[in-house]
A and B are shown apart, each in its own frame.
Chain A
Amino acid sequence: MAQTSRASRILGALALFSILVGLYFALIEAPPDAYQGDVQRIMYLHIPSILTAYLSFFIVFVGSCLFLWKREKRDDILAHSAAEIGVLFTGLTIVEGSIWGKPTWGVWWTWDARLTLTAILFLIFVSYLILRALIEDENRAAVCGAVLGIIGFLDIPLIHMSVYWWRTLHQPPSILRPDKAPWENIHPSMLIALSINLVAFILLFFYLLSQRIRLSETEEEVKTLKLDEAT
């Protein structure tokens, strides 16, 4: 029966707990940035959001491939659920980035490569959700969604390349750099705050994913019950 499973509830509690700890470290423990001051603290949410968004798009890709290969409903549910959460986190990333960009760069939005890439990802996965909503036949919606999930994923490196050649303004990654190990580029307490928040966001992601999958399964169940009743 559809009931929140124990594992999911534990996951939810862990996510909530780690978000609180993460906020404590991000807002109180970590020192303000030497140049940007307190504004920089939004990065403790910004970076985990975008990494979680990437994770969800990767899961959409995996779920789509598995579905086209094996045609099992649960892989499609996985991809669809991950796409919804991916849209949520990409949206969050863009909003956080804007809030940070206004005091730092002086503008809410600029056509820099990474901003543009994130916005395009957002658009692609919004179109994925709209596509699924507009195709009535369920099986067809699942197949088309899977195809879009795969094509969208394959397109990411190309979009990445093209917008980078087109424009590069964003500050280069300051933590994951080829020349230095991550812990040499950042104050240890900043790295701790960032890591805790990353873990917190990933836990939150899996919690939302499990809830969203449960919702789809419940919908399926309702449909089967209705069919049984009709016959």
Chain B
Amino acid sequence: MELVRQTVRLLWKDLLLEVRRRESLVSMFFFGAVVLFLFHFAFEMPRERTAEMAPGLLWLAFVFTGTLGLGQLFQAERENRCLEALLLSPVDRGALYLAKVLFNFLLMILVELVVFPLFGVLFNLDFWNLLPSLFLVAILGTIGFCVLGTLFSAMTLRARARELLLPLILFPLMIPVILATIRGMEIVLRTGAFEEALPWLRLLIGFDVIFLTAGFLIFEWVIES
């Protein structure tokens, strides 16, 4: 219970900071939009092929946007030695981790809520009735992205060239999430149902559970060393 209370408090702090500074969310959203534009220039596709490529393009846009967000995730803690102060306060390190995961998750979901429809408009894709199912797959993938991403964002806090290092570590480890989410969304788009995508969804849930647990247990060492 104490853990939940602390997590909510810490999450509230991050949300409040974000509302007042509006640093991450706005830039993440526009970055997502820019990536969509670039994709459109790179792969000028005939309309009938859009549905095939949509899951990959969408999800890559989220992964790039999310990586941008991860780079900023501990920015507030880096300034004025706030991290030391936070570590001095009697909060559970697990709560610290969960709050950051939740915060990053909320940011990404907000961006996705805008980018999904924007994609449909920009690429002329008629997928409006499938949007909720697609979004569900994306949520599972986003959780996987956040649980590992938060851990490694904290890890690269004091590394040289951290902006380079983070995706370099993260992307290979993230391959199950990237593959499963893209294939899952692709199946949903093609068949309109979940049945065939179930193995991929189970893989995503497995990934989320394993690394949420691992991150929760390991975070203490990463943040304190």
Contacts and interface: CB of A to CB of B under 8 A. Distances in A.
Interface of A: 68, 120, 123-124, 127, 130-131, 134-137, 139-140, 143-144, 147-148, 150-152, 154-155, 158-159, 161-163, 165-166
A161 B179 CA distance: 10
Contact of A158 (B160, B206, B218): B206
Contacts, number: 82
Q: 7 shortest A-B CB distances, which residue pairs?
A: A143-B225, A123-B172, A162-B176, A158-B176, A162-B179, A127-B169, A134-B159
B158 interface: yes
Main secondary structure of the interface of A (DSSP, over half): helix
A1 to B, nearest CB: 32
A139 B203 contact: no
Contacts of B162: 134
B159 A131 contact: yes
A123 B169 CA distance: 8
Contacts of B221: 68, 143, 147
Interface string B188-225: 00000000000110010011001100100010011001
Given A134-B159, A147-B222, A150-B214, A162 B165 contact: no
A140 to B, nearest CB: 5
B110 to A, nearest CB: 27
Contacts of B183: 165-166
Contacts of B176: 155, 158-159, 161-162
Contacts of B101: none
| Chain B interface residue bracket vs A | 20 to 34
Nearest to B225: A143
A131 B203 contact: no
Contact of B165 (A134, A143, A154, A155): A134
12 contacts: A68-B218, A134-B161, A134-B162, A135-B159, A143-B222, A144-B222, A147-B222, A148-B155, A150-B218, A158-B203, A158-B206, A165-B183
